[in-house]
Amino acid sequence: MSTNKIFKRVALVAAAALAIGGVNAVSANALAVPQINGSSASVTATVVVGAYAAETFTAGSADNYYTITSTGVGKVNYPSVASTGTSTLSVSGNSEVWSNSAGAIGTGANFAGTESLAVSAYSAVAGSQIVTVKGNVSAAITLTITWGAAPAFSAAFSTAINNNVVHAATNAATVDDALTAPRTAIAGDIAVVVNGIVTAASGKSATITAEASTDGGATFTILASPVTYTIGGAISVVTIATDAPTYLAGSALSIIATAKDASGFLAYDQDTALFSATTLTASTVLGGGVLPSNAVVELINGVHKFSGFYAPVVSGTGSLTITGKDSTTSANVVTATASITDAAGSSSTALLTGVTEATNAAKAATIAATAAGASADAATAAAKAAGVQATAAVTAVAALTLQVKAILTKIAALSVLIVRIIKKVKA
């Protein structure tokens, strides 16, 4: 058996919607020309990737064989053998030949126009696929399938339960992931299960808004708050961190564990152990409960918060380191660090610093005052020196004035003498 035939046999098992045996005689009016899914004209379909699309080809009485080809993305899966009548299936290059004869192709009688061939189409990638059915006489007709990307979530197979019962506070709705039993709840409560598509990639998300109708589905006027769901994979690595970078001694402290899948996205919600059998250890004794180990905890949105711890009591400042290993087969090392400060020690240190700064300021002020006093003394001395110099200058001016007066007196006497001499000379 060829590889192609083996593949077709496996595909037939996977496509549960296909008719067993593949070729069936139907009690319908005989057709003259072939049909695809009940239409003698070309048809189209839109299918989500990763799903099997059941298709039916019906023979017409004008032909004794059909050549079926597929181009583009995807493949057509055929049954391995034709189990009814004398028609046969055989591979011819990239095509499949459906012939109404057990002998050579084209040698048998024409189809009766009532035979049908059930197949399935499949594609793992988005794109377009064209399946062509061409009779040896009839014109070709086509089936064009548009394969769309798979959504992250689907409403298909989801379950909703409307609890229209009298309010009973003591029997409020109980969490039941599998919805295995009815629950008594507040009147009007609706429980909805949202399923992720199997082929959706990690990290893909969808925002879903639940709607309700009060008029039999004519309108939907009651809307819930939108909820965003995100696809996550299995846990590949766990990391830890404290809920704050710095703590005062004795203050409340929590450890935040984050689990991610192999693609780096948050792991799916689950109840699981996050750490190895060896309990996490701390570099300094914490107050409160015992540090986490491999106990099963609830993981929501990839995170679990371990609370009930208190920062260690230290004098002054210190540091805290929490270490351990995660529960994966890789046993990855997990580490969290934080700083610890003693509030009383910090206050004393701050006070001492303030006193020192004040003392230094006082010393600086004293130095400045001394310098100012010295400057004042120098100014006084300069002023005194200037006064002495000014007195000497005044005395010198007074003496010079007397000398000028004496010279002027002598000049006056000399003038009188000159006048007398001139008179005598004239006489």
Task: Note whether residue 364 is domain-resident.
Answer: no
Classify 402 as helix, strand or coil: helix
**CB burial class (10 A; 0-12, 13-18, 19+) of residue 40?**
middle
Residue 104 shares a structural domain with residue 128: yes
| pLDDT at 323 exceeding the cut of 70 | yes
Q: Which domain holds residue 171?
A: 151-231
What one-letter code names the amino acid at 81? V
Q: In the numeric block, which tokens belong to residue 77?
A: 């899966």
Task: Note whether residue 58 is domain-resident.
Answer: yes
- Bridging pattern class, strands 303-310 and 227-230: unpaired
Residue 191 shares a structural domain with residue 180: yes
Residue 7 shares a structural domain with residue 144: yes
- CATH number, domain at 77? 2.60.40.10
Q: How confident is the model at residue 372 (pLDDT cuts 50, 70, 90)?
A: low
Task: Note whether residue 291 is domain-resident.
Answer: yes
Residue 143 shares a structural domain with residue 155: no
- The number of beta carbons lying within 10 Å of the beta carbon of residue 309 is 22
Domain count, the chain: 3
pLDDT of residue 267: 92
pLDDT of residue 351: 45
Task: Note whether residue 388 is domain-resident.
Answer: no
pLDDT digits (tens, 9 = 90+) for 254-287: 999 999 999 999 999 899 999 998 899 999 888 8
| pLDDT at 148 exceeding the cut of 50 | yes
pTM confidence score? 0.45
Q: Per residue in 381-393, is it b (16+ CB within 10 Å) or e — as a string?
A: eeeeeeeeeeeee
The CA distance from 236 to 261, in Å, is 5
Residue 322 shares a structural domain with residue 259: yes
